[in-house]
Amino acid sequence: MDREIKRVLDTLVENGFRAYLVGGFVRDYLLGITSYDVDICTDALPKDLFNLFPNNTSNNNYGGFNFKAKKYNVDITTFRKDVGYENRRPIKIEYVDSLEEDLKRRDFTINTICMDNLGNIIDLYNGINDLQDRIIKMVGNIDTKLQEDPLRILRAVRFASILDFEIDEDLKKGIIKYKELVKTLSIERIKQELNRIFINDNLEKGLNLLKELGLDKELGLSYDDVIYTTDIMGVYAQIKCDDKYFTNIQKEYIVSIQRVVSKGVIDNHTLFEYGLYVNTIASEIIGVSKEEVNSLYKNLPLKEKRDLAIKGSDIISILNIKPSKVVNEIHNTLVELVLSNELTNDYEVLKKYIIENKDVWNYEQR
């Protein structure tokens, strides 16, 4: 156990409180995964916590304390039980004295494993067994737990996908039964869970699970084969989903990625039009190496329209014409030809081309 974390636990224990690491940190630790999100549960009340950790403490979302301990983000929460639920939030929480009671309100057995300041494991809900069997099992009554907080549906899929675990059959049945409750969740929470599924290279499992459980339709998602991309926008570009999930800038990126993917190649034209970021993502979907994209970009004769060696004003004076749309048309043609490597981006070369082709365009002489 890292010194920083032990120090927090020791502080609580030395002051006569019980304190345990719980949740994702212990689960991941036992799976050999490093996590910087540390959850601690304790019988110390918020006022005690305030006295013990007077610096850097702020309220967390769960009526507990949150602070940074070096690279760790620590959440300390007083043992509690939730009394009644409304809109995913307990109407009332009651502080309790028992660890067992606190663990009972949690979602999955693998998230109830605790560790004390000496590194001893406390496993009241058979979490270790389920961790070894790589299975996601609900703590307590499935119907109640899913109805109380439907976010647990998406958390189950997320953990199954990221950890490559199976969801227990009874829990699967429960999820199917209550699947439409995911629609009651806020877009932000849904997006947060989807992001965590899609950002992981085991996303295929998550996507298959969403389909198997009928959650794809409830969430308004539609997809076939989705190729993992290191940037999540590449994943979203392969999934049909409601606009409401994205900001305008994200929508723009998604459409651009889709355009490059449907063209099926990365070339000077796609790089010029959509830039390196979009093309790099699209290249992962098309199956073009990053090196190739980077080298194409590096050798791009023009990165922007204004990089063309000839300006609109030059075109006007070379042809001795009145300013009009045609100037822009000529300019665009030159850009295209330079991008296709048919012309060099050189003033004299471009000028020669304009003069030789002056009859192609329809313009008014000055």
Positions that interact with Mg ion (CB under 5 A): 23-24, 37, 39
- Sequence-distant (6+) residues with CB within 8 A of 358 are 319
Scanning 105-113, 245-253, 306-314, 355-363 for contacts with ligand ATP by CB under 6 A, the matching segment is 105-113
Q: Report the nearest approach of Mg ion to the CB of residue 33 (Å).
A: 12
Size of the site for ligand ATP (CB under 6 A): 10
- Torsion sign across C-alpha atoms 110, 111, 113, 118: positive
Q: Is 193 left (phi over 0), alpha (psi -120 to 50) or beta?
A: alpha
Neighbours of 181 (CB within 10 A): 19
- Retrieve residue 6's tokens: 């032990």
Q: Which does 152 bind (CB under 5 to 8 A by kind): Mg ion, ligand ATP, none?
A: ligand ATP
Task: CB nearer to ligand ATP: give 24 or 46.
Answer: 24
Binds ligand ATP by CB under 6 A, chosen from 2, 14, 37, 164: 37
d(C-alpha 292, C-alpha 322), whole Å:
43
Q: Which does 342 bind (CB under 5 to 8 A by kind): Mg ion, ligand ATP, none?
A: none
Q: Report yes or no: 261 and 285 within 8 Å, Cβ to Cβ.
A: yes
DSSP state of 108: B
153 contributes a contact to ligand ATP by CB under 6 A: no
C-alpha gyration radius of the chain: 29
24 contributes a contact to ligand ATP by CB under 6 A: yes
d(C-alpha 231, C-alpha 213), whole Å:
26
Binds ligand ATP by CB under 6 A, chosen from 8, 20, 23, 49: 23
216 contributes a contact to ligand ATP by CB under 6 A: no
39 contributes a contact to ligand ATP by CB under 6 A: yes
DSSP state of 365: B
Q: Report yes or no: 46 and 76 within 8 Å, Cβ to Cβ.
A: no
Task: CB nearer to ligand ATP: give 23 or 206.
Answer: 23
Binds ligand ATP by CB under 6 A, chosen from 152, 179, 205, 331: 152
Q: Note the residues at the interface with ligand ATP (CB under 6 A).
A: 23-24, 37, 39, 106-107, 111, 149, 151-152
